[in-house]
Amino acid sequence: MTDFSFSTDELADMRTTQRDHMLDECVVLSYAAGTKNEFNEADAPSYSAGDPLPCGLDMRSGSERHGADMTVIQYDATLRLPLSASLKETDRLQVVGRFGEFHDELTYEIVSPIQRGPSGIRLLLRKVVT
């Protein structure tokens, strides 16, 4: 049987390379449920911003199929984050810097399961219009 696992040094190199190619900056907006309305739905949830993280934003839209039923997920962008990022699928992300420049913030919600690879996290995002 062949061993296809990465060595500790290989994983460290892959993660460093991935992080070094994240030229944008974002913050995780952690979800907090609001009060419940008469239909037991969360009413006016709030989001609290975390510390800035390096990230890599790709603003090309697309679609992917996920799950056993091949559900089509439409997305506006993909985002790469370091493995150290802590987030849940109910959180949002705000891109606060793009290629080292600061501009109007872009806010996205996560529209698919969080994809964790050996060198980073990949997210499919939909732009939140505020």
pLDDT in tens, 56-112: 999 999 998 877 888 898 999 999 999 889 999 999 999 999 887 777 778 999 999
Asked if pLDDT for residue 34 goes beyond 80, the answer is no
pLDDT digits (tens, 9 = 90+) for 112-124: 999 998 888 999 9
Asked if pLDDT for residue 37 goes beyond 90, the answer is no
CA 5-6-12 angle, to 5 degrees, is: 155
User: Domain spanning 24-127: which CATH class is it, in words?
Assistant: mainly beta
Among the listed residues 99, 75, 90, the one whose alpha carbon sits nearest the alpha carbon of residue 29: 90
pLDDT tier at 1 (50, 70, 90 boundaries)? low
**Three-class DSSP category at 130:** coil
Break the chain into its structural domains and give their ranges: 24-127
Token pair for 68: 């056993």
pLDDT digits (tens, 9 = 90+) for 3-28: 678 788 877 777 677 777 778 999 99
pTM, two decimal places = 0.77
Asked if pLDDT for residue 127 goes beyond 80, the answer is yes
pLDDT tier at 2 (50, 70, 90 boundaries)? low
Which pLDDT score, from 0 to 100, does residue 87 have?
Answer: 94
φ/ψ (deg, to 5) at 109: -110, 155
